[in-house]
Amino acid sequence: MPVNTPEPGSAGLHSVIAKRWSPREFSRRPVDPAQLRSLFEAARWSPSCFNEQPWRFVVATQERPDQFARLLSLLAEKNQAWAKDAWVIGFTAARKTFTQNGLPNRFAMHDTGAAGVSLAAEATARNLYVHLMGGFDAERARTEFAVPDDFEIGASFVVGHLKDGASSPVARSRKPLSELVFDGAWGNPAEI
């Protein structure tokens, strides 16, 4: 069962982990292009099986209102309501096969998720915020942006500055480590 836990900072975690959360209040303040590029550099340097780098990102900023609107329209309405204010919007996709031999890469989405976390960590270090979303029309994303069949659509996301005076996260909860980390047998809480 999820439990209310103290803020992650209290576990002594590094600030790039402790300070990350998923806001629903963004400012329309532009993200500096060099900073934005650094986020994707961080994703680029993520680990991946056979160094396949299966991740791809389709993105737009508010600087291109037409492109931003196209991506925003893919989101579920409840996500659109707040995502519209973020400076950057996009979605991820993962190449399902290895380039070298065409065999299935069962780690493709795993590694694409890892790249997303690298991006979020770099964002947090730069006082930027990322919010990932599964609530979007992945099939329409495929058609609209001509995503090839060999790629699986991942998650949508926004990146931006937090709105001034935005409320801090409330009642964040996490499963206890005893439900997540095992030792000796499945389900047996590890003594860590």
Contacting positions for ligand FMN (CB under 6 A): 21-22, 79, 132-135, 155, 169, 172
Closest distance to ligand FMN from the beta carbon of 65 (Å): 23
Record the tokens describing residue 74, joined without a space: 């893919």
What's the rounded Cα separation, in Å, for the pair 177 and 42?
A: 28
What is the smallest separation between the CB atom of 34 and ligand FMN, expressed in angstroms? Answer: 26
Measured from each CB, the residue nearest to ligand FMN is: 135
- Of 22 and 35, nearer to ligand FMN (C-beta) is 22
Q: How many CB atoms lie within 10 A of CB 184?
A: 9
Give the residue carrying structure tokens 């730069």.
126
Give the CA angle between residues 40, 65, 123 to the nearest 5°: 25
Residue 39 CA to residue 30 CA, distance in Å, equals 14
Is the CB of 135 or the CB of 189 nearer to ligand FMN?
Answer: 135
Shortest reach from residue 130's CB to ligand FMN, in Å: 9
Residue whose CB is less far from ligand FMN, 17 or 98: 17
Phi, psi of 9 (to 5 degrees): -60, -30
What does 105-157 look like in DSSP terms, one character per residue? Answer: -TTHHHHHHHHHHHHHHHHHHTT-EEEEE--B-HHHHHHHTT--TTEEEEEEE
**Closest CB to ligand FMN among residues 32, 180:** 180
Q: Which is nearer to ligand FMN, 22 or 38 (CB)?
A: 22
CB of residue 110 to ligand FMN, shortest distance in Å: 13
CB 137 within 8 A of CB 1: no
Q: How far is the CB of 74 from ligand FMN (least distance, A)?
A: 11
